[in-house]
Amino acid sequence: MNIIVTTAGRPTEYTIRLAKEAASKLKLPFIDRQKRTVTQLQSYYASHVLVASKKRWEYYGVDTKEPFYYHPSSAMFRIKRLERGETDPLIEVCNLRAGDSFLDCTLGYASDSLIASFAVGENGSVIGCEASPVLAFILHEAFHLQRTDHLEYHSLMKRIQVVSKDAISFLRNQTDDSFDVVYMDPMFENTIKESGNISPLRSVGIQDELSEDWVNEALRVARKRVVLKTHFRSQWFEQYGFTQVIRKNTKFHYGYIDCT
């Protein structure tokens, strides 16, 4: 499916410039809005639509009713708990400490990377791989150019380096033991069906199956631990040797492999 770039319904010189710059960067066609609705553009061009509005980017997938735009999602209440001195299951299973380096192989909404950024602090580092160039673009613009409605977490967002590349390709170019923790949360069929809050992400995100090559590269690159998040019934825990952490009343469990 093609992707086009346009402006919000009432374009300004600013949004036109933004849209044209994004189209050039992403190598996508810029289309003059001409008072057409997003639905009309989707139908006429048989395309997904990336929209430049005044404060944020919105991505309208042909098969979705709601647009994808950056927001912290579940990280909002998770960070509040951390600020109260409570803990988070991701931090616990990753055994994250201040100063650690964290590689998120599947950035998505970047909720987990925000939690990792909180945990590792200013002296740590967080890198997120995103295989979808459009999604990587939206996240980079939100984190580093403040094109988002959610600036309350800017101190955490700006520490996240967004890499527009699939995880395996990125991992293959890293040296041994180059990250403390390598984290994987593949977006797969069961996850999408049972998580309505990520449905707008489905049209822009790339769905990856976990593979032996992926796990092996992660184990080579990680110093401390490789962590997987997936459906509690997933065969991946046993198939790839992850110790599954049982979490009552949750549909998604973590698994880990120690590298030390």
DSSP H or E run through 58: strand 57-60
Task: Give the span between the Cα atoms of 216 and 131, in whole angstroms.
Answer: 19
Report strand pairing: 222-231 vs 252-258.
Answer: antiparallel
d(CA 179, CA 103): 7
- Output the six-digit token pair for 249: 């009343």
Collect all residues with Cβ–Cβ distance below 8 Å to 140 and sequence separation of at least 6: 162, 164
Question: Which of the following CATH numbers is that of domain 75-258: 3.30.70.3270, 3.30.70.520, 3.40.50.150, 3.40.50.1970?
Answer: 3.40.50.150
Alpha helices in 131-211 (DSSP H): 133-145, 154-157, 167-172, 189-194, 199-202
Measured from the Cβ of residue 126, the count of other Cβ atoms closer than 10 Å reads 30
pLDDT for res 260: 79
Q: Which tokens go with 141?
A: 């613009």
C-alpha to C-alpha distance for 138 and 201, rounded to whole angstroms: 12
* Successive 10-residue mean pLDDT values, the chain, 260 residues: 92 97 98 95 95 95 85 92 96 98 95 97 96 95 94 93 96 98 78 44 63 97 97 95 93 94
Helix (H, G, I), strand (E, B) or coil at 44: helix
**Is residue 226 within 8 Å of residue 218, measured between CB atoms?**
yes
Phi and psi angles of residue 217, each rounded to the nearest 5 degrees, phi first: -65, -40
User: Which residues sit opposite 59 in a β-bridge?
Assistant: 50, 68
Confidence (pTM): 0.91
CA-angle at 190, arms to 79 and 129, nearest 5°? 55
pLDDT for position 208 = 72
d(CA 221, CA 259): 9
Residue 124 to residues 50, 107, 160, Cα–Cα distance (Å): 33, 17, 10
The domain spans of the chain are 2-54, 75-258
b/e map 34-51, b = 16+ CB within 10 Å: eeeebeebbeebebbbbb
**Per-residue model confidence (pLDDT) at position 192:** 42
Q: How far apart are CA 225 and CA 126, in angstroms?
A: 15
pLDDT computed for residue 198 by the predictor: 40
